[in-house]
Amino acid sequence: MALKDPIARLKLILPLLATAALLAFPACDAERRKSDAELGLNPQQAAGRRIYDNYCDRCHAPYSSRGRQGPSMKGVFKRQYLPVSGMPANDDRVSDIIRMGRNKMPGYTQVLNQQQMDDLLAYLHTL
């Protein structure tokens, strides 16, 4: 049979190795992205998630505590104080930071209207 031929044997083994690598790799980093339904988001929170994905996700991880350019947003409203600024973790202070920006974080006054801010905050409360 063709398996005696080393090339044929390689052709058989390589896809297996590739599959094994694919299966092993995601386990060490990002989890599969969950759907809005899996996260139990209501329509407003889901709208906030779209805004987060567009403007915040590149600098702030939502579901892992790993930092990106900015600190993780995981559990941002679950603590009493924000970890970097030390400000109280409430809607007013977080809205201020989002509107004005801080250090390397840009401000979003010109970008997000009040409805979008409300949606974004609703989503941040689910993290």
* Contact yes or no for 102/59 (Cβ under 8 A): no
Burial category of 99 from C-beta neighbours within 10 Å (exposed 0-12, middle 13-18, buried 19 and up): middle
Q: Are 71 and 64 in contact (CB under 8 A)?
A: no
CB of 43 to ligand HEC, least distance (A): 19
Show the binding pattern over residues 23-62: x = contacts ligand HEC (CB under 6 A), - = does not. Answer: --------------------------------xx-xxx--
Q: Is 59 exposed, middle or buried (0-12, 13-18, 19+ CB in 10 A)?
A: middle
Nearest-approach distance from CB 84 to ligand HEC, in angstroms = 3
Q: Which is nearer to ligand HEC, 15 or 119 (CB)?
A: 119
Query: Given the rule CB under 6 A, which residues bind ligand HEC?
Result: 55-56, 58-60, 69-71, 76, 82-85, 94, 97-98, 102-105, 108, 120
